Amino acid sequence: MKTLSTFTYRRRLRAQKQKSMLRVFCLLLLCVLVVALTVASGGVAAGAKEIRQAVLVAEGDTLWSIAGRFLPEGTDIRSYITLIRRYNKLTSSLVYPGQTLVLP
């Protein structure tokens, strides 16, 4: 036979356990919310935004000469040219005077 004090103790213990579980659940929910907002706002999870620059092709310019002028330090020129071609939807490395290129 259970006594009243044992019954009260177990009820109090169960209530404390439920409060602890509720706190953990709320904390996890808060963490998920923070991560979701960070991703949605373009923060760390989405990556840094690239700054692009527009260049007008002059007479005698080639894709290689333009890439050489604006090449970021430590970047291979061939991969940079590939990026320029991809950004501008170029099918070849030919550029024409008056053409505007977007550089990554």
Q: For position 62, which CATH number holds?
A: 3.10.350.10
Q: Give the list of residues 6+ apart from residue 90 with CB closer than 8 angstroms, or none.
A: 63, 84
Q: What is the pTM of this model?
A: 0.51
Q: Give the list of residues 6+ apart from residue 87 with CB closer than 8 angstroms, or none.
A: 52, 102, 103, 104
Percent of the chain topping pLDDT 70: 87
- Count up the domains in the chain and report the number: 2
Q: Is the domain of 67 the same as that of 89?
A: yes
Residue 17: what residue type? Answer: K
For residue 27, the enclosing domain spans 4-46
Q: Is the domain of 57 the same as that of 40?
A: no
Q: List pLDDT tens digits, range 29-50.
A: 988 888 888 777 765 444 555 6
Q: Is the domain of 61 the same as that of 39?
A: no
Band (pLDDT 50/70/90 cuts) for residue 10 is: confident
Question: CB neighbours (10 Å) of residue 95?
Answer: 22
Q: Is the domain of 91 the same as that of 68?
A: yes
**What is the distance between the alpha carbons of residues 31 and 56, in angstroms, rounded to a whole number?**
47
Sequence-ordered alpha helix ranges (H) in the chain: 4-40, 63-70, 77-88
On whether the CB atoms of residues 54 and 101 are closer than 8 A, the answer is yes
How long is the chain? 104
Structure tokens at 92: 């070849």
